[in-house]
Amino acid sequence: MNIAFTEEQLMIIILSLLFVIAIIVIVIEWRKNAVSKNNVLLLEKKTELKKIELVEKDLENKRRKEDMSDLSEEDQERLRQIRINTAEIIGKVGLLNTEVTEKVEQLEAKSELLKLQKLSEQLSKKEEEIEKALKK
């Protein structure tokens, strides 16, 4: 079965292959462009949300300061002491949390060490048994 193409048919086939490849490349690039645009829009929205959060925090801090300025010196001092005590308690909680985490990790490591030592002993016994069996 001998298939022979004329020069004209070969030219049409080559041109159609090039056309298909060009379309595929264009579609891929178009898709990349669409994804990039979506990523840019997403980043813009995130930036806007961050700006809004910063403004809200700033307004909250300003409101707190204004509220404190309305209070008497004694009340302001009590609030400062409460904030200081809260910060100290949070620091202690953080320290205790870290200590607990470290102790848990230490116990896990000791437990693993104990398991490995027992396994090593068992392997040594098994090896001795095999050596004895081989000598017989």
Express each pLDDT in 19-44 by its tens digit.
999 999 999 999 999 999 999 999 99
Q: Helices (H), strands (E): how many in the chain?
A: 2, 0
AA identity, residue 62? K
Residue-by-residue DSSP string for 17-83: HHHHHHHHHHHHHHHHHHHHHHHHHHHHHHHHHHHHHHHHHHHHHHHHHHHHHHS-HHHHHHHHHHH
Considering the entire predicted model, what is its pTM? 0.40
Annotated domain spans of the chain: 6-102
Phi-psi region of 114 (alpha: psi -120 to 50; beta: other; left: phi over 0): alpha
pLDDT at 70 over 80: no
Residues of the chain above pLDDT 70, percent? 96
